[in-house]
Amino acid sequence: MDYQGHADGSAKAYSLEEHGPSFQLSPHFRLIEFASRDGADTVLVHPALIDALEAIREHFGKPVHINSGYRTKSHNRAIRGSRNSRHTMGLAADIDVRGVHPDTVADFAETLQPGGLGRYHTFTHVDVEGVSRRWDER
């Protein structure tokens, strides 16, 4: 998987209406899975984020569920996300892997790339900002 190769580019912008919700971004992820939960048409997704999630999918051999991918700034404010959240740039996803403990998911995600990693009780935050920020909210 090609994380480093994508690390410097910016997120790509997709349109739910133009591409369709089922637009396949990669073998296991569709556009709608990354969409802002406020129903915005534009969806920002960084290719390196998709690569990271595919690597997690491949490693565990189980579906990766995206609780929160891209967030518009207003949606991020509404759910009280942190200011300048990587989610608003298409660089982050909060995920859980069916049947796998979040600690185990985080331990593997930590080996992938130099992006940010947040540990939570029920999910794992993965981002591809290129700075190794680590935090623990368990």
Q: Which residues bind Zn ion (CB under 5 A)?
A: 92, 94, 125
How far apart are CB 87 and Zn ion at their closest, in Å? 6
How far apart are CB 16 and Zn ion at their closest, in Å? 21
How far apart are CB 46 and Zn ion at their closest, in Å? 14
* φ and ψ at residue 77, rounded to 5 degrees: -65, -40
Looking at beta carbons only, is 31 or 89 nearer to Zn ion?
Answer: 89
How far apart are CB 74 and Zn ion at their closest, in Å? 17
Alpha carbon distance 75, 22 (integer Å): 22
Looking at beta carbons only, is 3 or 70 nearer to Zn ion?
Answer: 70
Looking at beta carbons only, is 13 or 79 nearer to Zn ion?
Answer: 79
Residue of closest CB approach to Zn ion: 125
Of 3, 80, 75, 82, the closest CA to residue 34 belongs to 75
The single residue listed with the structure tokens 């600690």 is 103
Looking at beta carbons only, is 19 or 67 nearer to Zn ion?
Answer: 67
For residue 5, the tally of other CB atoms under 10 A from its CB is 11
Of 55, 65, 72, the closest CA to residue 124 belongs to 65
AA letter at 59: H
DSSP 126: E
